[in-house]
Amino acid sequence: MARITMRQALTDALREEMHRDERVFIMGEEVGVWGGTYAVTRGFYDEFGPRRVRDTPISEMVIGGAAVGAAMAGLRPIAEFMTINFAFVAFDAIINHAAKMRYMFGGQMRVPLVLRAPGGGGRQLGATHSHTPDVIFAHFPGLKVVSPSTPYDAKGMLKAAIRTDDPVLFIEHATLYQVRGEVPEGDYVVPIGVSDVKREGTDVTIVAYAQGLQVALAAAEKLAKEGIEAEVVDLRTLRPLDMAPVLKSFQKTFKAVVVEEGHRSYGIGAEIAARIQEEGFDYLDAPIKRVAQEEAPLPYSRELEQSALINVDKVIAAVKEIV
């Protein structure tokens, strides 16, 4: 098994699916001639041509809406937002259209669409380019929202997203593109809507996803040296949310910390904590802790920005408060 970057895993998934299904095509800003602003589609323009790798103007509303229309009419578009921050401009296309089309017309339509969007903070891009707004999109029934944490999951879940007949927002944390992991040769799919235990432990359950998952795993390794064995559950999909592995783990550890890069208020941690107390109250031994982004816009200045973001020390501190 080769150790490849998440970027390479995503590129491989896209290329394999483009070869597998003629209806799959890519559209977005700088996906073609430029090769993708994060180089995920480098070489695709030459390999597949301008019909299937379509550069668009800087027009997020129509990128989102036209992708929905093309999906309704039988294609399987992969539309890329240069960053998830720009998906805000297309919010109506994503929420009012991609997510509601099937329901509102009584099941007449299907929208087999993948919206790829890199996101996340920590790169000194300032307040408008550093959001982790995943939870906002996950609020709405009709959309599937996924965000993988490893190259293996990234490849398998992107394939699943392309093959499902429902609209999927596929969020890629930009700081994970360089993360390496083992990825097998050939075709495989990682199903959407299935959480995954990434590390087994008995003392505390850490629930995380995407970049937060990598932070949680690093924290768990440090905690292990101090004799605290954390179980780390990777949500992978925010909607539909698979709580079963979280609850199973919690029934073993009786304690939980939720790690997310988005803001704390109304966040993933709030949802997971509520679900644990609703569905696992009898097992609750301690307050459920949340490690999340501070309640401030992300500033440019490096140290100040880092102080607002999640990190290994914050996760360790949260664990130690309850273990």
Partner 1 sequence: MDKETILDWYRQMVLIRRFEQRCSELYQAGKIGGFLHLYIGQEAVAVGSINAKQENDHVITAYRDHGHALVIGSDTNAVMAEMLGKSTGVSKGKGGSMHLADVERRFWGGHAVVGAHLSLATGIALAEQYQGTDAAVLCYFGDGATNIGYFHESLNLSGVWDLPVLWICENNQYGMGTAVERHTAATNIMQKASGYDIPAAQVDGMDVFAVHEATQKALAAIRNGEGPQFLEIMTYRFEGHSMGDPLRYRTKEEVEKWREDDPIGILERHILAENLASKDELEAIDTAVETHLDEAVNFAESSPLPAPEELFTDIYVEN
Q: Which residues bind partner 1 (CB under 8 A)?
A: 25, 51, 54, 56-57, 59, 61-62, 64-75, 77, 92-93, 96-97, 102-110, 112, 141-142, 144, 164-166, 240
For residue 256, the cross-strand partners are: 205
Are 194 and 242 within 8 A, CB to CB? yes
Q: At its nearest, how many Å lie between partner 1 and the CB of residue 85?
A: 17
Minimum separation from the CB atom of position 192 to partner 1 (A): 9
Judged by beta carbon, residue 71 or residue 272, the one nearer partner 1 is 71
Report the nearest approach of partner 1 to the CB of residue 96 (Å).
5
Nearer to partner 1, 57 or 227 (CB): 57
Asked if 200 is an active-site residue, the reply is: no
Report in angstroms how near the CB of residue 50 gets to partner 1 at its nearest.
Answer: 10
Question: Given the complex with partner 1, which of 2 and 104 has the nearer CB atom?
Answer: 104
Is 112 or 120 the residue whose CB approaches partner 1 more closely?
112
Q: Least distance to partner 1 from the beta carbon of 289, Å?
A: 32
Q: Which CB, 56 or 130, lies closer to partner 1?
A: 56
Q: Judged by CB, which is closer to partner 1: 104, or 304? A: 104
Query: Are 145 and 116 in contact, with CB atoms under 8 Å apart?
Result: no
**Catalytic residue, candidates 29, 60, 260, 271:** 60
Please indicate whether residue 185 is annotated as part of the active site. Answer: no
Catalytic member of 17, 80, 97, 129: 129
d(CA 168, CA 172) in angstroms, rounded, equals 12
Q: How far apart are CA 77 and CA 52, in angstroms?
A: 9
Task: Please name the residue that has the structure tokens 């299935």.
Answer: 194
HEC assignment per residue over the chain: CEEEEHHHHHHHHHHHHHHHCCCEEEEECCCCCCCCCCCCCCCHHHHHCCCCEEECCCCHHHHHHHHHHHHHCCCEEEEECCCHHHHHHHHHHHHHHHCCHHHHCCCCCCCCCEEEEEECCCCCCCHHHCCCCHHHHHCCCCCEEECCCCHHHHHHHHHHHHHCCCCEEEEEEHHHCCCEEEECCCCCCCCCCCCEEEECCCCEEEEECHHHHHHHHHHHHHHHHCCCCEEEEECCEEECCCCHHHHHHHHHHCCEEEEEEEECCCCHHHHHHHHHHHHHHHHCCCCCEEEEECCCCCCCCHHHHHHHCCCHHHHHHHHHHHC
Q: How far is the CB of 194 from partner 1 (least distance, A)?
A: 13
Q: Which residues are catalytic?
A: 60, 129
